[in-house]
């Protein structure tokens, strides 16, 4: 199968490395080089990964529609924008071969793919045979865990994940905790990965997290908890902008924990290894309670059970599933 990733940068490179080999032949083509490209014309599956700006993604999809064969499968790797939003102005024949297939990184650790193949009124769904072909590649060929989602902003994982990250950052500010101490509490008490909140924002890239979380908040109700928590979370990122490194953490020597920024002078230092205090455990407990409540809201709006949402978060953000949900996700 000939696969083309339309885009550039780390996401496109990671997809190319993961997809190359076996029965797949993968090539990265920059969005501006799609028109008239013979490789694009020969492709059996094209993955649109042209950044996170909706206009850029629409332009890339329009170029793909014009340059690809009529039987070529097309998917978008999108994290916030809905399928209906991406396909605005597209022909029904193109809609019939398009789905959102949202991957999570690193691909060798996180097997989840959020799948959106149908949207609301006026947007044609992906044809059944096209769905079967692409899902077969994802499940059988790539060993992905495909979760069908409603066409809602942020789908499931980022809808809850971005809000949880923002809330964890906001509560860290409220409790007077440093990024390292907050992340340590979330890892030890909630079972989040070592990157927890601030470290995960680093992985996303703080400026991109700010852009995407704001874009998501703009697409939700004004009283949604994400919108309420976001200003305090973005204040942390604005503080980072005073320093050239622009990240909460920095790699240290091999085998040692990452260094964390000291906002007093912008110097990266080894994090404290002191045991958690009662205050820090209380902070983590507040985050856990908030996540549990918001997860119920997300489940109701996405049509999944709470157990299914926990499963999505485990497969996308690496969250530990609470004991009372074990075996049900």
For the purposes of burial, counting CB atoms within 10 Å of the CB of 24, is it exposed (0-12), middle (13-18) or buried (19 or more)?
middle
List the 45-49 sheet strands across, edge first: 25-29, 2-7, 45-49, 73-76, 98-103, 112-116, 145-148
Spans of all domains in the chain: 2-148, 157-325
CA pair distance 188, 190, nearest whole angstrom: 6
Contact 155, 80 (CB under 8 A): no
For the purposes of burial, counting CB atoms within 10 Å of the CB of 156, is it exposed (0-12), middle (13-18) or buried (19 or more)?
buried
Report, as an integer, the average pLDDT of 174-191: 96
For β-strands 145-148 and 259-262, DSSP reports them as unpaired
Which residue(s) pair with 249 in the sheet?
Answer: 260
Report CA-CA distances (Å) from 172 to 135, 182, 184, 203, 261: 41, 6, 11, 19, 15
118-100-309-129 Cα dihedral, nearest 10 degrees: 50
Q: Dihedral of CA 321/189/200/279: which sign?
A: positive
Contact 286, 229 (CB under 8 A): no
Residue 212 above 90 pLDDT? Answer: yes
CA pair distance 170, 291, nearest whole angstrom: 13
Give the lowest-confidence range in 1-5, 55-59, 253-257, 281-285.
Answer: 253-257
CA pair distance 329, 313, nearest whole angstrom: 10
Tokens at 126, concatenated: 């992906």
Tokens at 42, concatenated: 């020969």
Contact 4, 46 (CB under 8 A): yes
Residue 224 above 70 pLDDT? Answer: yes
| pLDDT tier at 329, thresholds 50, 70, 90 | very low
Coil vs helix vs strand at 152:
coil
Q: Write down the pLDDT at residue 256.
A: 83
Report, as an integer, the average pLDDT of 249-267: 89
Residue 303 above 90 pLDDT? Answer: no
Coil vs helix vs strand at 29:
strand
Backbone angles phi, psi at 63, to 5 degrees: -65, -40
- Which residues are CB-neighbours of 318 under 8 A, at least 6 positions away? 109, 110, 192, 193
Report, as an integer, the average pLDDT of 162-184: 97
CA pair distance 234, 239, nearest whole angstrom: 9
Model pTM score: 0.91
Average pLDDT over the chain, rounded to whole?
93
Residue 253 above 90 pLDDT? Answer: no
% pLDDT > 90, the chain = 86
Q: Specify the residue for token string 């049509």.
A: 303
Report, as an integer, the average pLDDT of 291-306: 92
Report, as an integer, the average pLDDT of 312-329: 75
Domain 2-148 carries which CATH code?
Answer: 3.40.50.720
Q: Write down the pLDDT at residue 324.
A: 60
């Amino acid at each position: 199968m000939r696969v083309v990733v339309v885009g550039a940068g780390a996401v496109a490179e990671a997809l190319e490395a993961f997809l190359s080999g076996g029965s797949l032949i993968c090539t990265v083509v920059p969005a501006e080089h799609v028109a008239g490209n013979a490789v694009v014309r020969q492709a059996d599956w094209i993955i649109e990964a042209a950044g996170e700006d909706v206009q850029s993604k629409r332009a890339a999809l329009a170029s793909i529609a014009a340059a690809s064969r009529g039987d070529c499968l097309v998917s978008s790797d999108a994290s916030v924008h809905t399928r209906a939003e991406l396909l605005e102005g597209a022909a029904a024949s193109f809609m019939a071969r398009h789905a959102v297939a949202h991957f999570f990184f690193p691909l060798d650790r996180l097997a989840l793919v959020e799948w959106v193949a149908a949207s609301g009124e006026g947007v044609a769904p992906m044809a059944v045979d096209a769905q079967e072909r692409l899902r077969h590649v994802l499940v059988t060929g790539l060993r992905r865990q495909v979760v069908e989602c409603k066409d809602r902003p942020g789908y499931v994982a980022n809808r809850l994940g971005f809000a949880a990250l923002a809330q964890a950052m906001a509560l860290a500010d409220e409790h007077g905790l440093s990024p390292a101490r907050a992340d340590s509490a979330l890892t030890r008490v909630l079972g989040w990965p070592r990157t927890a909140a601030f470290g995960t924002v680093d992985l996303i890239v703080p400026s991109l997290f700010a852009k995407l979380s704001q874009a998501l908040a703009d697409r939700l109700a004004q009283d949604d908890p994400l919108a309420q928590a976001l200003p305090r979370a973005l204040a942390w990122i604005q503080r980072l902008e005073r320093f050239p490194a622009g990240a909460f953490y920095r790699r240290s020597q091999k085998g040692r924990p990452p260094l964390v920024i000291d906002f007093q002078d912008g110097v990266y230092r080894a994090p404290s290894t002191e045991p958690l205090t009662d205050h820090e455990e209380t902070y983590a407990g507040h985050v856990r309670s908030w996540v549990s409540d918001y997860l119920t809201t997300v489940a109701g709006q996405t049509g999944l059970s709470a157990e299914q949402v926990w499963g999505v978060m485990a497969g996308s953000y690496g969250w530990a599933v609470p004991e009372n949900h074990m075996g049900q996700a």
